[in-house]
Each structure stands twice: as structure tokens, then as C-alpha cells.
Amino acid sequence: MYTGKVYSISAMVRWTRYETIVFIAIIAAWVSAYHFLDIAWLKIPWTPMALIGTAVAFVIGFQNNAVYSRIWEARKIWGGIVNTSRTFGVYVRDMISTEHSPEHVAEEAVSREIKAITYRHIAWLTALRHAMRKNKIWETTSKQRTNRELGVRPPEAVNAVEVDLQAYLSEEDLAEILTKDNLPTALLYQQSRHLKKLKEEGMIWEFSFLELEGIIEQLFTLQGQTERIKNFPYPRQYASLNHYFMWLLLLLLPLAMVPQFMELGQDIAEAKPLLGSLFIWFSIPIYVAVAWMFHTMERIGRTGENPFEGTANDVPISTIARGIEIDLRQNLGEIKDEIPAQFPAEKGVQF
């Protein structure tokens, strides 16, 4: 997620500069053809252009609304993960005790169990954010030239998931889940079995066990919701046609705009011949401005289609997960030097 105070116009211009060059080339070619060649008869009335422009504006607006809904839903889901994780941390710390244990259990053993369960939850968060960053064939925004030029990558692209999980799981537990296809699901299964074991040993009261299992159920629900967004793209029939319609408008627009400027120039030439002869060239900045606005709005929609892809405008799930980890480990009583710092925002981008 871009965290700068202002997403400046200069940044937007740099982001779209290659397309802007294409627009300048298109309109310059048409203006030159109309100015130096006798093709004044080749023009399109404004009425069909207005209809096409209205249709394109409608589908771009529809796409942007749908994409914003996907981003906002993704952020709400991860907000739910934050709240549920904090609740889980409190429940684990307060509900695992020797109060109902038939045999004496040392406090150190209780603390180890609390730490193991808390760390496994952090491992679940780590595995989930790694799963959300896996590239899908329809996720192409990060491969675009201007996005690659930014030169920053999400933390999940730096370390493999098994490397990040080593800090939170025992060798036995890590070896077990790495044999599974869905690591977050495997970790929740493992978590549930651990809670059941503690219940059978009397370290968790029956009612407390049901409460903790209810939290596990909520985590499964939240995981399924975030997987739904990740694994179901914005429908291609809308995204592709929207892109083609936008380019159809931009390619046809000079056939209506340039002749109009040429006719206006002829009227002006009666009073100011020089200005009138050059007036057709004023269509270049006007066309570039219109084309840039349509294309940029359409590109913004394409950029936000996949809120977990790992680009500058995505939901910052890495930051959210690390923030939860910091909260949970402080809840265990760990000092700041033992807890990893929050991921830095490189070039104003927080992943």
C-alpha cells in the first residue's frame, strides 16, 4: 500500500509515461496526415463518438466500483483477522492453566504450551500471507514495466515460507505441515489437535476448550474468505472487454477531434491566418489529456483487481500480520529486542 502523504500528479505521470508517449504518437500522426495530406473527408461525427465514450465511461466506472469493493472486502477480512487473533491470544494466555488439572503441572510447562500455541498462530499468519502472495496466471500488474521500475518487493518474495516458519514451529511440526498442500489449513488442524490434547490433560477446562475451538472456526472462516478473493479473479469478460472498448475509443477519437479543430482553424484564419493555419495542432494536448484520463482510470481498475498480488496499491497484509505478531509476543511478556520490527516502508510502499 502506498503510504505517501499525497499521491502526486508527478507520480501518476511517471507511472503512465509510456502510454502517454503512445498517445502523443497516435495524435501526432493523425494531425500530420490531416495537415499535409488531403484527407479532410475522413472524419467521424461526434454523435457516435459520444455514444462510444459514454459506454466506455460506464464500463470503466462499473469496473472501478467492483474493484474497490474487492479491495475493501479484503481489508475488512484482514481487519477481522486482527481482531480474532488478539482475542485468541488473550484466551490462550488466560484459559490454559493448572486450575482443572488432576495432576500437578509446573508453571513452566504451562508457559511453554501457551508459547507454542501462540507461536503456531503466528506461523498460521505467516503461511497465510505467503499463500496470498503466490502468483496467479491472471495477476499481471506486478509484471508491468513501471511497477518493476519501482524496485521494491513484498517480504514474501524475499524469503521462502519454510524459512519464515522455522522461527515459530518445532522441527516435528514444521516437517508435518510441509507435506501438506494448504499450509494455513494444516496449521489450524494442528492447532486444534494441540488444544484437544491439553483439554484431555486437564490444562484447558471443557468450556474454555469450546471457546478456543470457536476461535479456530472463525479463523477457518476468515481464511476461506481471503482465499475466495485470491482464487477468484475479477471476471475476465468484464476486464478484457473494458480494456478493448477503451482502446477502441482512443483510436477512433482523432477521426472526430482533429477534423473539428481543422474546421475551427479555418474559421479563425479569416481574422488571423497564421493562428488559423496552426490551430489544428492544438488538438494534440487536448487529445492526450482526454486519452490519459480514460486510460489512467481504466488502468487504476486493473491495478486493484488483485488486492494480494504484492504491488504498491494492495492491501498491506505483511504489515498487518507482523503487527499482530508484535501484539501477541508482547502479550507473552517478550521484550522488544526479542520481537522482530515492523516491515519498513520502502519508497513510500508498505506491503
* pLDDT tens-digit series, residues 95-129: 888 776 666 667 777 888 889 999 999 999 999 99
- 189-234 pLDDT tens trace: 999 999 999 888 888 888 888 999 999 999 999 999 999 999 988 7
Rounded to an integer, what distance in angstroms lies between the CA atom of residue 64 and that of residue 234? Answer: 11
Q: Which residue has the higher pLDDT, 310 or 237?
A: 310
The CA-based dihedral angle spanning residues 307, 310, 311, 314, taken in that order and rounded to the nearest 10 degrees: 30
pLDDT of 50 over the 90 cut:
no
Between 265 and 254, name the one with better pLDDT.
254
Which three cell numbers mark 80?
A: 477481522
pLDDT confidence of residue 179: 92
d(CA 110, CA 212): 16
In angstroms, the CA 42 to CA 154 distance is 51
Q: Which pLDDT score is estimated for 156?
A: 84
Q: What is the pTM of this model?
A: 0.87
pLDDT at 42: 84
Contact 287, 257 (CB under 8 A): yes
Q: Check residues 312 and 291 and name the one with the higher pLDDT.
A: 291
> Using alpha carbons only, what angle is made at residue 309 by residues 305 and 313, rounded to the nearest 5 degrees?
70
Find, among 159, 143, 145, the residue nearest to 309 by Cα. Answer: 143
pLDDT (0 to 100) of residue 4? 52
Contacts of 286 (CB under 8 A, 6+ apart): 257, 261
- Cβ neighbourhood burial of 311 (10 Å; 0-12, 13-18, 19+): buried
